[in-house]
Each structure stands twice: as structure tokens, then as C-alpha cells.
């Protein structure tokens, strides 16, 4: 279920963790609100902040090392339906139309619908979203919800850290003295601001796509995807409404046989 932590991506993961704790240390070493509360014995906010930082790091490793849904064998999708939750059964309408599968030209395995071969991971990934260099892993069926949860926690930590950094700037009579006094904190603030903007855009785009029950790959490349290129621009055969899409994504566990969702009785095969 998890990859080797010392395998591919070790340097990226190490850099992420080191940067996280270095910035956290800077916020506590300077005269920020966190430092002042700690010195007065009010430990509630410092402990909560460090706990959220730790949670973000743990979620990062979970998403980074988790199997995103690699297709490892040619076994049929029938085995996956056994693990589908009861709430998900109505997502798989009965149909007499045979599901279509194509064989991957790289790993030579049958690709379930919505899967794609990742050249970096060298595997096909079920409900492929994208390969993320930040986590050095694919985002797919098994870790996509955890990736979104990680982004949400990370955004809270970054916004809180940005607020704390702003509270720590000290007054100085000249710009030169101000830069010498606040230079390190200013650098940390700029990094926090850049990361905040990046994570905010990522989280917003993923929540939008999840609400439509589509993936980044499908959204960007629908004109080249066999099961979507003949659909209209506003047509998505997997869309079940915003609330249901969000509920299924976050609250329903198990593997969906997307071929059976796609080939509905009321639809004509494409």
C-alpha cells in the first residue's frame, strides 16, 4: 500500500519536511505572537499550531507514499465490485452493453476506464488525475481525497503562519536596520506567501473538478480521450450533480467500475 520512503522522491520529501520545520522554527525564534504566547505560558495556540504542522507533514507522507491506484494485473473489474460500499451500488447501473477496455501500450495491461499510464511511475493509475512532482507520486483513485485533505490542512497552516510572521516584524529607524533585524523573517514570509497562493489555487481547482466528477487529466485532455472526445463541451457522463459528486468523493470508499457507470441504459455507446 505504501512505497519505500527512501526510494524515488526522497530528496523532494526531505526538502519539504526540512523547509516546513525551518519556517516553523523561524516563527518561534522571532518575536511573533506565537513566541509571545509561549513566553507568557499561554500554550494553547503554539501547541495547536505545531500539531497542525505535524498533521500536514503526516498527510504529506501518506499521500506521497500511498499507492494511488496502480493497475498491477490483467484481472477483470469484477473483483473490484466486491469492495464497493453499499452506498455506491446505485452508482453502477445494470447494463447489457459490454464495457470497453484497451490495452496499455507501455505496461501491456488492460486499462480500466479513466485510467492512464504515468511515464514517471511506470504504471497505469486508476482514475488518474495527474502526477505531482511536489509529492513525487501520482494522484489517483486511492489517494486523491487524501491529497485534497492535505491541501486543505496545508493551506490553514500556511495562512496561520503568514499571520504569525506578520506579527513578528520589529520597528527600526532605517531601512538598512530594519532589513538586518527582519531579513530572515521577511524571507520566511515571502516563502509562506508564495506557497499560500500556490496551495490556494491547487485546492480551489481540485474542489471545482471534484464537484464536476472529472479529473485534471480529463479536463485538460478531453479532446484526446476516447470516451470523452465525442461528448459535448458541457457533457460529462460521470457527473451526478455537485452535492452527490462531493459526497461520493469524500464519504464513499471503494472502487467504482466506471465502464458500467459510463454505459448506461439511457445512453448510446460512443
Mind listing the pLDDT tens digit for each residue in 33-81?
Answer: 999 999 888 899 999 999 999 999 999 999 999 999 999 887 654 444 4
Domain extent at residue 61: 1-66+144-192
pLDDT at residue 87, as a whole number: 41
Closest CA to 216 of 231, 204, 226: 204
pLDDT reported for residue 127: 94
Residue 99, pLDDT score? 47
Co-location of 105 and 138 in the same domain: yes
Residues 58 and 2 in one domain: yes
Low-confidence ranges of the chain (pLDDT < 50): 77-99, 265-266, 268-270
Q: Is 132 a catalytic residue?
A: yes
Q: Do residues 4 and 114 both lie within one domain?
A: no
Q: Are 259 and 100 in contact (CB under 8 A)?
A: yes
C-alpha cell read off for 226: 476516447
State the catalytic residue, choosing from 118, 124, 132, 138: 132
| pLDDT score for 158 | 97
Please enumerate in sequence order all residues whose Cβ is within 8 A of that of 235, keeping only pairs 6 or more positions apart, or say none. none
Q: What is the pTM of this model?
A: 0.84
- Given this model, what pLDDT does residue 184 score? 94
Please give the share of the chain, as a percent, with pLDDT higher than 70: 84
Are 44 and 165 contacting, i.e. CB atoms less than 8 angstroms apart? no
- Do 225 and 186 lie in one domain? The reply is no
The whole-number pLDDT of residue 91 equals: 44
Contact (CB, 8 A) for 30 and 184: yes
Q: Is residue 205 part of a domain?
A: no
Q: Looking at residue 51, what is its pLDDT? A: 97
Question: Quick one: how many helices (H) and strands (E) in the chain?
Answer: 9, 7
**pLDDT reported for residue 263:** 73
* Residue 57 and residue 11 share a domain: yes
Tell me: do 168 and 36 sit in the same domain. Answer: yes
Amino acid at each position: 500500500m505504501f512505497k519505500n520512503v527512501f526510494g524515488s522522491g526522497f530528496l523532494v520529501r526531505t526538502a519539504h519536511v526540512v523547509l516546513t520545520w525551518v519556517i516553523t522554527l523561524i516563527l518561534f525564534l522571532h518575536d511573533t505572537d506565537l513566541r509571545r504566547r509561549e513566553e507568557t505560558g499561554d500554550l494553547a495556540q503554539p501547541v495547536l499550531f505545531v500539531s497542525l504542522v505535524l498533521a500536514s507533514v503526516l498527510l504529506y507522507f501518506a499521500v506521497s507514499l500511498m499507492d494511488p491506484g496502480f493497475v498491477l494485473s490483467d484481472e477483470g473489474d469484477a473483483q473490484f465490485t466486491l469492495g464497493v460500499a453499499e452506498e455506491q451500488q446505485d452508482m453502477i447501473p445494470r447494463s447489457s452493453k459490454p464495457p470497453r477496455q484497451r490495452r496499455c501500450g507501455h505496461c501491456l495491461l488492460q486499462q480500466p476506464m479513466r485510467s492512464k499510464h504515468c511515464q514517471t511511475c511506470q504504471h497505469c493509475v486508476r482514475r488518474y488525475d495527474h502526477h505531482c512532482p511536489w509529492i513525487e507520486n501520482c494522484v489517483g483513485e486511492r489517494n486523491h481525497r487524501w491529497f485534497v485533505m492535505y491541501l486543505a490542512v496545508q493551506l490553514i497552516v500556511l495562512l496561520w503562519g503568514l499571520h504569525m510572521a506578520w506579527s513578528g516584524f520589529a520597528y527600526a529607524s532605517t531601512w538598512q536596520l530594519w532589513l538586518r533585524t527582519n531579513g530572515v523573517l521577511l524571507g520566511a514570509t515571502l516563502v509562506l506567501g508564495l506557497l499560500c497562493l500556490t496551495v490556494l489555487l491547487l485546492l480551489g481547482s481540485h474542489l471545482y473538478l471534484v464537484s464536476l466528477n472529472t479529473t485534471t487529466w480529463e479536463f485538460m485532455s478531453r479532446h484526446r480521450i476516447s470516451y470523452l472526445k465525442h461528448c459535448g463541451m458541457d457533457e460529462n457522463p460521470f457527473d451526478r450533480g455537485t452535492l452527490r459528486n462531493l459526497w461520493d468523493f469524500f464519504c464513499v470508499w471503494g472502487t467504482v467500475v466506471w465502464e458500467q457507470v459510463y454505459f448506461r441504459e439511457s445512453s448510446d455507446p460512443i
